[in-house]
């Protein structure tokens, strides 16, 4: 259906978005690359000359590099796992007949509207504080020693805080997908005597696969750059220093722009590895 | 750009015709959300009444965010702020870079000679005063007189670390949520490392030797950290590894700490009956020592400075001269009482008989005077700074060291491991910086 | 019999769903409740839920200390401005991807999404320098531009998936009738795509409203939105739970209310083409 004319019109219409994004990607990227080969210390007078790959070598050989990659992957993986598993379960639940479904949905969706800074502050102070937090009161009420959430269980705590924000998002997308499922198909399977588990495994889950990949893709994009939740709660202590946070420490706390930029390049590489990996799955699922 | 100019002109015209016959200058003030600064913001009408041609824009941020913002801005020369609230750590570094405007020409009546010498020296580089102190602080021991009596002990005016440990053991009553001692554990160069560096000084430890070699592999550091861990693990509150100044303050105010060694400014909070349940049961003592001639107290002044390149230098100076003046002190005293004036900057305040009645006045002055930034510890050092090292790399290094020690306090690694990692990362960063 | 079973099931479902919903919502409820307590009640042990002396004191203190209206206004301008601008740029792009697809369309789309993975912290310094050069620091224009660029990929993608569900035959029919490209977009496509565009706009307002890195680092006084407002209450000296709660409530209330009122529209388009 596409004529030569409409093709060039299409290009023209795509141009603003593509050019803007290209600029938004390339300009900072080139500047980051430029800084990454420099010894650039703003607090010591700025540009102190070219240093080749020194910054890269230093960034990778630092003892905090691999733990930070690990922390990043654990947080992304943990949140994805929790939001997907619970998301599917909650979506199944919300799909059932019940009273006040609209209100329940409003309760479910609310955390997604909350600023990450606010949610981190609220969780940290009012729930996880080992003396005045609500959890501490709860633990004491049962005669248990309050848990020091953000130090003893730092990673799980951060995963919990982030999951709380993303669970509604996952649930809603999955719920919409479940609702679009042909109910006759399910009823037919029920007639045939398929167990609920079999019905879930053979009909519902395959139907959800596209929705799941979408959730996977979108959340990964946002989770790779999680910052506020860590900045507010642990500031990267207790094994919660992600790659993003490590770069933050290099650029802003140590004011070593060269080293931080080299880290930025590594983060871009990591993001792209994850992206390619994801695109492979998602790309296949998004065809059709 | 002509369009922009035209727009500016138009805006200016509208403003002028709107009734302002004078040229209005706006100054943007970046400050911390500490109590004293919030009070200043509340009292700023006094300033604007005297200077109707100056408009104040406040950017009040939490300490970590503020520091990140102003450092980023001054280093990249963004010109976002006309007055910045910075500390004794930043002033010498930024001053040397030529990033701050000298305040030597503040009016005679402002009386620079009245500033406490220890504080003034910390803000002066090569004879130029680069920042005006808003409030100054050292650290000291705050303790519960009732619990001390109950334990059958008597706090000396200048305790030793051994006495502190003995008292902490005697006061601890975990069943009733009373912990003998509360100390900072939250990682950060301005959090646990401020306390630990000052404490280490009294143990004879230092950050670097005269050749800038990191010293975390010395027995002095090992002694310091082990003693600290011993105190905190046995007599400290739960979750100590995430407690900073603010968390400990609220614990103390709730009566959950027997002793607390921290900033002298906390004294006015813990004795304030509005917020503190133990206001009338607090005593003060100098920071402890180990008999080596140095005490574990620091020196800090939150100060107001003007970044070079601002377009409102004169107005900014007017503001600083107001906020750090004797008259401002008197203004606060008249509205909120003497206990709430910003402490620790002026000799005249401590000579004031009214202020002398404040229970913590003498101890604060004594603590500030006993800190010596140029000669902080037992052995000679190549740096200045009591609880910090005044080099640009310090904040980054110390925060990471702080995280290692915080992790050890949380029981995730041993003291030896923490110090080993601290040593390695310090050596590494110092190399990167070219030492 | 069967009726009874479903009735029973419905009761169980309702109970379970309401309980979980309450738990998920509880942190927000607790924040709002705490904002009406005194500082002492906010940390009292055991905690008080409803039976305390409700007070507006914290809101008064917060309002006295910071000019809430200005932060709110900046947030609104930045969130709405960037969304509108982003949508205007994205509609044509998404249209051409959906209706005149080429082999490269999917690559371009995925590439667009991948730009969102650039770590913001890593490029803060370059962006800061550029902003100084252009005089954009602490301006709403600068922030609107950044927010637009950040969210552009999501907008394009959402619109693309939505447009793609519109049958091409309708467009062809319109074309037969002699409609120009402009007519086609304005009179045929847009009306059909309104629900999708609405949902996209809503999601992006939410994302832009809650973005806390750029909005904090590129502003000072004039353009600072609610994320900066929160940063001045996060850990002051002394007791602060109640004041923090009041400030938090003020920061999240507008977007929460908008979200609730529009949740049907939002959810409908939140599928990213995952539902066929």
Same domain, B401 and B329: no
Helix or strand or coil: residue B384? coil
Q: What CA–CA distance (Å, rounded) separates C98 from C91?
A: 10
List CB contacts (< 8 A) between C239 and chain B: 250, 253, 275
Helix or strand or coil: residue B60? strand
Q: What angle do the packed helices A154-179 and A101-109 form, to 10 degrees?
A: 140
List CB contacts (< 8 A) between C64 and chain B: 42
CA distances from residue A287 to A21, C105, C107, C274 in whole angstroms, order as listed: 24, 12, 12, 11
Mutate to test the interface with B, among C57, C64, C212, C221 (most CBs of B within 10 A): C221
DSSP structure string for A95-112: HS--TTHHHHHHHHHGGG
Pairing of strands B83-86, B299-305: antiparallel
* Inter-chain Cβ pairs, chain A and chain C, closer than 8 A: 293
Do the chains contact at B269 and C237, CB–CB below 8 Å?
yes
Q: Is the pLDDT of residue B346 over 80?
A: yes
Q: What CA–CA distance (Å, rounded) separates C60 from C36?
A: 11
Do the chains contact at A111 and C119, CB–CB below 8 Å?
no
Q: What CA–CA distance (Å, rounded) separates B392 from B375?
A: 19
Q: Is the pLDDT of residue B113 over 60?
A: yes
The closest CB to that of B77, out of C43, C132, C138, belongs to: C132
**Nearest CA to CA, how far is C191 from chain A (Å)?**
19
Degrees to nearest 5, angle at CA B312 with B4 and B84: 115
The closest CB to that of C232, out of B35, B61, B78, belongs to: B61
Mean of the per-residue pLDDT values of chain B:
90
**Nearest CA to CA, how far is B213 from chain C (Å)?**
30
pLDDT attached to residue C120: 83
Do the chains contact at C206 and A112, CB–CB below 8 Å?
yes
Per-residue pLDDT, averaged over B58-69, amounts to 88
pLDDT attached to residue C262: 86
Q: Is the pLDDT of residue B96 over 80?
A: yes
Ordered per-residue pLDDT tens for chain A, 288 residues: 456 667 777 788 888 888 898 888 888 889 899 999 999 888 887 788 898 898 999 899 888 899 999 999 999 999 999 999 999 999 999 988 888 888 898 899 899 999 999 999 999 988 998 888 899 889 988 888 888 888 888 999 999 999 999 999 999 889 888 888 877 777 888 888 888 888 888 888 888 888 888 888 889 888 988 888 998 888 888 889 999 999 998 888 888 889 999 999 998 888 888 877 777 766 666 554
In tens, the pLDDT along B182-225 reads 999 999 898 999 999 999 999 999 999 999 999 999 999 999 99
- Using an 8 Å Cβ cutoff, are A173 and A219 in contact? no
Which CATH number belongs to the domain containing residue B395 in this structure?
3.40.190.10
The closest CB to that of B65, out of C124, C125, C231, belongs to: C231
Same domain, B98 and B52: yes
Instruction: Kindly state the percentage of chain B with pLDDT values over 70.
Output: 95
The closest CB to that of C138, out of B61, B76, B80, belongs to: B80
Do the chains contact at C228 and B61, CB–CB below 8 Å?
yes
Mutate to test the interface with A, among B184, B390, B400 (most CBs of A within 10 A): B400
- Using an 8 Å Cβ cutoff, are B305 and B131 in contact? yes
Same domain, B286 and B196: yes
A243 touches chain C (CB under 8 A): yes
Q: Is the pLDDT of residue B164 over 90?
A: yes
List CB contacts (< 8 A) between A115 and chain C: 209-210, 212, 226-227, 230, 251-252
pLDDT attached to residue C238: 66
Same domain, B258 and B321: no
Q: Is the ipTM of this complex over 0.85?
A: yes
Per-residue pLDDT, averaged over B242-262, amounts to 91
- Residues C66-269: name the CATH superfamily: MetI-like (1.10.3720.10)
Per DSSP, what are the bridge partners of residue B303?
Answer: B86, B133
Indicate the pLDDT class of residue B247, thresholds 50, 70 and 90. confident
Nearest CA-CA partner of C108 in C96, C123, C122: C96
The alpha carbon of residue B117 and the mean position of all alpha carbons in its chain are separated, in whole angstroms, by 17
Nearest CA-CA partner of A130 in B233, C244, B240, B404: B240
Q: Which of residues 112-131 of C touch A (CB under 8 A)?
A: 112-127, 129-130
Instruction: Kindly state the percentage of chain B with pLDDT values over 90.
Output: 72
In tens, the pLDDT along B366-409 reads 999 989 888 899 999 999 899 999 998 898 899 999 999 999 99
B348 touches chain A (CB under 8 A): no
Question: How many CA atoms, within 13 angstroms, populate the side-chain half-sphere of residue B311?
Answer: 6
Degrees to nearest 5, angle at CA B38 with B34 and B41: 145
Mean of the per-residue pLDDT values of chain C:
86
Same domain, B88 and B31: yes
B155 touches chain A (CB under 8 A): no
Q: What CA–CA distance (Å, rounded) separates A31 from A268?
A: 14
pLDDT attached to residue B14: 46
**Nearest CA to CA, how far is B266 from chain A (Å)?**
20
Q: What CA–CA distance (Å, rounded) separates A17 from C94?
A: 9
Q: What CA–CA distance (Å, rounded) separates A233 from A150?
A: 7
C73 touches chain A (CB under 8 A): no
CATH architecture label of A64-286: Orthogonal Bundle (1.10)
What are the extents of the domains in chain A? 64-286
Mutate to test the interface with A, among C72, C274, C276 (most CBs of A within 10 A): C274
Residue B362: inside a domain: no
What are the extents of the domains in chain C? 2-60, 66-269
Range of the domain at B79: 23-136+300-356
pLDDT attached to residue B90: 93
Same domain, B31 and B117: yes
Mutate to test the interface with B, among A126, A147, A149, A254 (most CBs of B within 10 A): A254
pLDDT attached to residue A162: 95
List CB contacts (< 8 A) between B34 and chain C: 236-237
Same domain, B269 and B406: yes
Do the chains contact at B411 and A152, CB–CB below 8 Å?
yes
Degrees to nearest 5, angle at CA A115 with A109 and A121: 110
The b-or-e profile of B177-192 (16+ CB within 10 A means b, else e) is: ebbbbbbbbbbbbbbb
- Using an 8 Å Cβ cutoff, are B387 and B195 in contact? yes
A151 touches chain B (CB under 8 A): yes
Q: What CA–CA distance (Å, rounded) separates A221 from A233?
A: 22
Do the chains contact at A176 and C100, CB–CB below 8 Å?
no
Q: What DSSP state is assigned to residue C255?
A: H
Same domain, B146 and B292: yes
DSSP structure string for C142-166: HHHHHHHHHHHHHHHHHHHHHHHTS
* Inter-chain Cβ pairs, chain B and chain C, closer than 8 A: 86
Question: Which residues of chain C fall below pLDDT 70?
Answer: 1-4, 236-238, 269, 271-276
Q: Which of residues 7-46 of B touch C (CB under 8 A)?
A: 28, 30, 33-35, 38, 41-42
Tell me the whole-structure pTM to 2 decimals.
0.88
Residue B368: inside a domain: no
Torsion over CA of A154, A158, A160 and A163, rounded to 10 degrees? -160
List CB contacts (< 8 A) between A210 and chain C: 273-276
pLDDT attached to residue B31: 94
Could you give the number of structural domains in chain B?
2
For chain B, what's the residue count?
A: 435
pLDDT attached to residue B17: 43
Nearest CA-CA partner of B102 in B322, B307, B299: B307
pLDDT attached to residue A280: 73
Contacts of A49 (CB under 8 A, 6+ apart): A38, A39
In tens, the pLDDT along C79-131 reads 999 999 999 999 888 888 888 888 788 788 878 887 887 778 888 888 999 99
Residue B370: inside a domain: no
Do the chains contact at A256 and B241, CB–CB below 8 Å?
no
Q: Is the pLDDT of residue B20 over 50?
A: no
B215 touches chain C (CB under 8 A): no
pLDDT attached to residue B1: 40
Indicate the pLDDT class of residue B27, thresholds 50, 70 and 90. very high
Q: Which residue of A has its CA nearest to B251?
A: A131
Indicate the pLDDT class of residue B276, thresholds 50, 70 and 90. confident
Q: What is the 3-state secondary structure (H, E, C) of B149-185?
A: HHCCCCCCCCCEHHHHHHHHHHHCEHHHCEEEEECCC
The closest CB to that of A105, out of C106, C115, C263, belongs to: C263
Longest dimension (CA), chain B: 79
């Amino acid at each position: 259906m596409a004529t030569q004319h409409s093709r060039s019109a299409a290009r023209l219409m795509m141009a603003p978005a593509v050019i803007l994004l290209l600029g938004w990607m390339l300009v900072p990227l080139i500047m980051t690359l430029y800084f990454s080969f420099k010894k650039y210390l703003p607090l010591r007078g700025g540009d102190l000359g070219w240093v080749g790959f020194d910054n890269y070598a230093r960034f990778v050989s630092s003892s905090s590099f691999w733990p930070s990659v690990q922390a990043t992957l654990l947080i992304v993986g943990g949140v994805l796992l929790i939001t997907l598993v619970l998301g599917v379960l909650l979506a199944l639940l919300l799909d059932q007949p019940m009273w006040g479904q609209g209100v329940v949905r409003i309760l479910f969706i609310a955390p997604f509207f909350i600023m990450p800074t606010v949610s981190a502050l609220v969780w940290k102070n009012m729930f996880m504080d080992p003396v005045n937090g609500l959890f501490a009161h709860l633990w004491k009420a049962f005669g248990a020693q309050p848990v020091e959430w953000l130090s003893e269980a730092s990673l799980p705590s951060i995963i919990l805080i982030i999951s709380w924000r993303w669970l509604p998002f996952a649930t809603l997308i999955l719920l919409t997908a479940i609702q679009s499922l042909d109910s006759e198909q399910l009823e037919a399977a029920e007639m045939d005597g398929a167990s609920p588990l079999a019905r879930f495994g053979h009909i519902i889950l395959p139907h959800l696969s596209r929705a799941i990949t979408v959730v996977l893709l979108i959340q990964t994009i946002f989770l790779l750059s999680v910052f506020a939740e860590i900045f507010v709660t642990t500031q990267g202590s207790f094994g919660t220093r992600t790659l993003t946070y490590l770069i933050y420490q290099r650029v802003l706390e140590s004011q070593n722009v060269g080293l931080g930029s080299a880290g930025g390049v590594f983060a871009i590489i990591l993001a792209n590895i994850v992206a390619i990996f994801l695109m492979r799955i998602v790309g296949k699922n998004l065809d059709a | 750009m002509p369009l922009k100019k035209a727009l500016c002109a138009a805006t200016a015209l509208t403003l002028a015709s709107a009734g302002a016959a004078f040229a209005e200058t706006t100054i943007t003030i970046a400050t911390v959300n500490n109590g004293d600064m919030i009070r200043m913001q509340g009292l700023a009408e006094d300033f604007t009444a005297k200077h109707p041609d100056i408009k104040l824009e406040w950017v009040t941020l939490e300490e970590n965010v503020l520091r990140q913002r102003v450092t980023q801005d001054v280093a990249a020369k963004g010109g976002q702020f006309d007055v910045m609230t910075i500390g004794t750590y930043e002033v010498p570094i930024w001053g040397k870079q030529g990033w701050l405007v000298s305040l030597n020409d503040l009016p005679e009546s402002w009386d620079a000679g009245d500033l406490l010498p220890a504080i003034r020296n910390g803000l002066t580089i090569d004879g130029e005063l680069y920042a005006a102190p808003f409030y100054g602080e050292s650290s000291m021991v705050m303790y519960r007189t009732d619990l001390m009596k109950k334990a059958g002990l008597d706090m000396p005016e200048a305790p030793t670390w051994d006495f502190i440990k003995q008292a902490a053991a005697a006061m601890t009553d975990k069943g009733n949520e009373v912990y003998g001692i509360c100390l900072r554990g939250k990682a950060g160069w301005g959090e646990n490392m401020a306390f630990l560096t000052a404490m280490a000084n009294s143990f004879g430890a230092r950050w670097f030797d005269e050749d800038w070699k990191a010293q975390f592999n010395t027995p002095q550091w090992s002694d310091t950290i082990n003693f600290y861990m011993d105190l905190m693990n046995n007599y400290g509150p739960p979750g100590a590894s995430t407690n900073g100044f603010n968390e400990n303050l609220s614990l103390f105010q709730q009566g959950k700490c027997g002793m607390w060694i921290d900033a002298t400014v906390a004294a006015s909070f813990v004795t304030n009956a509005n917020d503190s349940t133990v206001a009338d049961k607090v005593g003060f003592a100098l920071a402890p020592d180990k008999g080596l001639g140095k005490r574990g107290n620091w020196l800090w002044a939150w100060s107001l400075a003007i970044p070079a390149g601002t377009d409102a230098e004169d107005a900014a100076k007017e503001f600083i001269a107001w906020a750090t003046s004797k008259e401002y002190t008197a203004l606060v005293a008249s509205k909120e009482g003497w206990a709430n004036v910003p402490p620790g900057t002026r000799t005249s305040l401590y000579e004031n008989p009214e202020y002398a009645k404040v229970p913590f006045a003498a101890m604060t002055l004594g603590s500030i005077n006993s800190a010596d930034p140029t000669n902080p510890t037992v052995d000679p050092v190549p740096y200045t700074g009591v609880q910090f090292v005044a080099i640009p790399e310090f904040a980054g290094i110390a925060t990471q060291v702080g995280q290692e020690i915080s992790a050890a306090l949380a029981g995730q690694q041993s003291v030896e491991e923490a110090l080993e990692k601290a040593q390695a990362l310090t050596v590494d960063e110092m190399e990167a910086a070219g030492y | 019999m069967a009726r009874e079973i479903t009735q029973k099931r419905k009761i169980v479902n309702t109970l379970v769903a309401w309980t979980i919903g309450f738990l998920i919502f509880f942190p927000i409820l607790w924040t709002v409740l705490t904002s009406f307590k005194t500082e002492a009640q906010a940390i009292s042990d055991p905690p008080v839920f409803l039976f305390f002396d409700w007070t507006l004191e914290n809101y008064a203190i917060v309002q006295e200390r910071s000019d809430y209206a200005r932060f709110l206004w900046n947030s609104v301008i930045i969130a709405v401005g960037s969304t509108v601008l982003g949508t205007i740029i994205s509609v044509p792009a998404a249209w051409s991807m959906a209706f005149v697809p080429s082999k490269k369309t999917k690559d371009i789309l995925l590439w667009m999404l991948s730009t969102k993975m650039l770590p913001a912290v890593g490029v803060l310094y370059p962006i800061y320098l550029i902003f100084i050069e252009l005089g954009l620091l602490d301006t709403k224009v600068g922030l609107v531009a950044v927010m637009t660029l950040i969210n552009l990929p999501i907008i394009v993608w959402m619109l693309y998936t939505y447009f793609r569900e519109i049958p091409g035959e309708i467009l062809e029919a319109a074309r037969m009738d002699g409609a120009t490209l402009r007519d086609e977009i304005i009179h045929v496509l847009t009306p059909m795509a309104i629900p999708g565009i609405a949902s996209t706009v809503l999601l992006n307002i939410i994302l832009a409203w809650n973005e806390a890195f750029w909005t904090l680092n590129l502003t000072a006084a004039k353009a600072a939105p609610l994320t900066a407002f929160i940063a001045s209450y996060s850990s002051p000296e002394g007791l602060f739970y109640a004041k923090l709660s009041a400030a938090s409530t003020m920061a999240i209330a507008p977007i929460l209310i908008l979200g609730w009122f529009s949740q049907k529209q939002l959810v409908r388009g939140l599928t990213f083409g995952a539902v066929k």
